[in-house]
């Protein structure tokens, strides 16, 4: 058995060469309502991510409960936890193995900016997933509650379709007219 170099068959056709606006909208709606997250957690925030998929919070209401065991079957990476320098290349490899189109949610303060592990002279932690991944949505908290992850997924749906399921809830302090917080 051997290998042989095969010349490229055709030039790449730009994806925007022909566009069908209605079809694009329907496809985007389908993608947004059937996000398949990668089964992947790296620290305590992953426990909250697991809770989000359990009965009480029922992520399947939003079509995002099918956590896949392979990056090749996933279109959403939820970076849930502290990113050590040792783990970062592995995380990047998993991301690269996911097919396009794909999205990234940074779940929790560690994935956003290094969280409580950032201090002068630290040498073991990557200070945010966006140092090496194109993050689409940031969900703050240490850890964020499952409701926060659900809001992050709704925000990602909004980004994909340009349409939001529900209006955003305004914080109470704004409704009362006070800017002090």
* Binding residues for ligand SF4 (CB under 6 A): 43-45, 81-82, 108-110, 115-116, 142-143
Nearer to ligand SF4, 138 or 160 (CB): 138
CB of 40 to ligand SF4, least distance (A): 13
Q: 3-class SS at 9?
A: coil
CB of 133 to ligand SF4, least distance (A): 16
CB of 131 to ligand SF4, least distance (A): 15
Nearer to ligand SF4, 27 or 94 (CB): 94
User: Could you count the other beta carbons within 10 Å of the beta carbon of residue 154?
Assistant: 18
Handedness of CA 90, 153, 28, 38 (dihedral sign): positive
CB of 126 to ligand SF4, least distance (A): 12
The closest of 120, 104, 102 to 112, measured between CA atoms, is 104
Nearer to ligand SF4, 52 or 109 (CB): 109
Q: Which residues contact 179 (CB under 8 A, 6 or more apart)?
A: none
Alpha-carbon distance of 131 to 116, in angstroms, equals 17
């Amino acid at each position: 058995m051997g290998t042989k170099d095969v010349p490229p068959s055709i030039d790449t056709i730009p994806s925007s060469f022909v566009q069908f606006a209605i079809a694009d909208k329907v496809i985007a709606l389908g993608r947004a309502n059937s996000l398949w997250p990668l089964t992947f957690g790296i620290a305590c925030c992953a426990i909250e991510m697991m809770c989000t998929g359990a009965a009480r919070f029922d992520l399947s209401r939003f079509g995002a409960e099918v956590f896949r065991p392979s990056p090749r079957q996933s279109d959403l990476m939820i970076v849930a936890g502290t990113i050590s320098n040792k783990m970062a290349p592995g995380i990047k490899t998993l991301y690269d193995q996911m097919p396009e189109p794909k999205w990234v949610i940074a779940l929790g303060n560690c994935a956003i900016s290094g969280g409580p592990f950032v201090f002068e002279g630290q040498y073991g932690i990557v200070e945010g997933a966006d140092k090496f991944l194109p993050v689409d949505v940031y969900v703050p908290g240490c850890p964020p509650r499952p409701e926060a992850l659900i809001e992050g997924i709704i925000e990602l749906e909004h980004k994909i379709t340009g349409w939001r399921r529900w209006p955003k809830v305004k914080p109470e302090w704004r409704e009362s007219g006070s800017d002090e917080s």
